[in-house]
Amino acid sequence: MTAPLPRLAELVTALSLATDIGVGMPMEMMLSTCLVSVRLGEALRLSDDELREAYYLALMRHAGCTADSPHAAELMGDELDTFRAWISINPTQPLQIMHVMWRGIVDQSKPTLERFSLFIRSMSELPLVAIARCEVAQQLAARLDFDVRVQSGLRQFGERWDGGGFPHKLKGEAILLPVRVAQVAHDAVIIHHFFGAEAAIAAMRERAGVTHDPTIAEAFCARAATILEMPRSLRDEVLACEPEPRRTLTDEQMESATRALADFADLQTPFSTGHSTAVAALAEEAARQCRLTASEVTLVRRAGYLHDIGRVGVSAGVWCKAGPLSEADWERVRLHPYYTQRILAKPQALAELGVVAGAHHERLDGSGYHRNLSANLLTPVMCLLAVAEAYQAMLETRPHRAALSPEQAADELKHEARAGRLDGEAVNAVLTAAGHRTPKVRRQRVADLTEREIEVLRLVAHGHTNPEIAQRLTIARKTVSRHLESIYSKLNVSTRAAATYFAMQHHIV
C-alpha cells in the first residue's frame, strides 16, 4: 500500500534532523529552535504570516550546512567536532573567535608559520563560508517552493542588530522580524542545551543590542522557563504547532523536494556531486526492467534520491581521505544508512522511503550494513537500490581510487552476484538499464514463493486474518485465499501454525 504524501512541514522537520547532524549537533536541536521560535513569536504577537515564516526559518537555519564541508574539513580535520567550541564563545568578542580558529587548525604539528598562514586564510574566508551556507539554504528553500520572504530570510542569518554582520550590513529592523526571532531562539536553545537556562538568559542579555534585537531577547528572558520546556515527543509537537495554512505536497512537489534533498546531501563532497540523482535514475529504469508496479518504481526512485541524506552526519574529512580508513572511520561510515533511516523514520509518509533508502548497503548474505539484513528480509526494491548504488559509485572517482570503467563495474557486480552478496536479477536489471547486454536470470526464492506470497505469509505469521490481509495489501479476499493455497502447497503444510513456524525458521518475520 502506498503511503500518503507528506505535509511540507513533515519533510522540512526531517531535513532539520539532517542539518542537526550536518553541523555536529545532537538531533532535534532545530526542532527545539522551531518550537521556541513559535512560542516567542506568539508572545510577541507576530502576525500569522510572520509566525509561519519564523517556524520555517528556524527549521531551515542550517539547510546550507553542506556548502563548505570539504573546505572546513581541510582546515579543521573533523568539521563536525568543532561545533562545541563555537557555541562556547561570545560572537561579540573577536578575540574569542580568533582563539577558536587558531586552536581548530587541523594539524597542530605544522610549523608555526604554516599554521599562521592557514589561520589567516580561515579568518579571511569565514564570512564567505557563512554567505555560501545562506545562499545554498535560500536555493534549497526555492526548490521546496517557499515564498520570497522565507528565501530572503535565510540569507539574513549572518546579519546583526548592530549592523556588524554580513553580507549586507543590515541593521536593526532592516532585518526581517521572523529572522530576528529565530536568531534569538537558535542561540538560546543551543546554550540552554549545553550550559543550562541561566547561561542562556545571561547570553541573551549580553548579546541584546549587539547581535540580537533587544526587545526579542528580553521577551525570551522574561519567559525562559516556560519557553524552553520541551515536550516528550518533540517532532509531534512541532508538527502540531505549525501555523495555518498547512500544505500537503503534491506528487510533483514531492518529486522536486526529494531531488532537492539529494543535491543537499551530494553537495557535501566534490566527488559525490550528482551521485544520488544518478542512482535514482538507474534504480528507476532497473525497476521498469523488472516490471515492478508503478508505485514500486516511484518508491525506488525517491529512495534513490534520499539514500545518502545520512552521509552528512559523517565528517567530510572521513569521506575525503585518500588512504585506507581506520576502524574508527569505518564505524562512522557504517552509521550513515542508519542516519538516513532515522531522519526519515517519521511520519509514515516518509518511513517507507526511509526503510528502503536505509538498506542501500545491505547484502544478501548479511554482510552489509547497517542492519546486516539477509536475503529473506530484502525486498526487490531494496535489492535494486543496493545494486544501482554500488554500480554508480564504482563509476565515480573517489579520493582513494580512480573511477572504474562501465565494463569493470559490470564485472564487479557479476562477481558480487556469484558470491551471493548481490541479487542476480537485480544486477542484470541494473546492467541492462545502464546499457549492458545481460542474460535473463531467475530470482532464487525461499520455497519458490513469490514476493506477494512472502508478503501474505509474513502477515499470516503476525496473526492477521484473511480480511485484514486483503485490506492491508488492497487485494480481494479471494485473492488472499488463492495465495494461501499456493503457499501451503509450496511449503507442504496445511495450517497457519506450521506456515508461521516456517516463516520464523527462514527469517521471513
pLDDT value at 412 more than 60? yes
> CA nearest 182: which of 83, 59, 14, 17?
59
pLDDT, the chain, mean? 90
Q: Which CATH number fits domain 447-505: 1.10.3210.10, 1.10.10.10, 3.40.50.2300, 3.40.1160.10?
A: 1.10.10.10
Q: Where are the domains of the chain?
A: 8-240, 251-444, 447-505
CATH 3.90.1150.10 fits 251-444, yes or no: no
pLDDT value at 128 more than 90? no
| Whole-number pLDDT of residue 93 | 72
251-444 shares the fold of 8-240: yes
| Whole-number pLDDT of residue 410 | 97
Q: What is the CATH number of domain 8-240?
A: 1.10.3210.10
pLDDT value at 149 more than 80? yes
- Residue pointed to by grid coordinates 547581535: 211
Kindly report the pTM of this predicted structure.
Answer: 0.82
- Residue pointed to by grid coordinates 572521513: 318
| Whole-number pLDDT of residue 99 | 65
- DSSP readout, 6-64? PBHHHHHHHHHHHHHHHTTPPTTHHHHHHHHHHHHHHHTT--HHHHHHHHHHHHTTTTT
Query: Counting beta carbons within 10 angstroms of the beta carbon of residue 107, is it exposed (0 to 12), middle (13 to 18) or buried (19 or more)?
Result: exposed
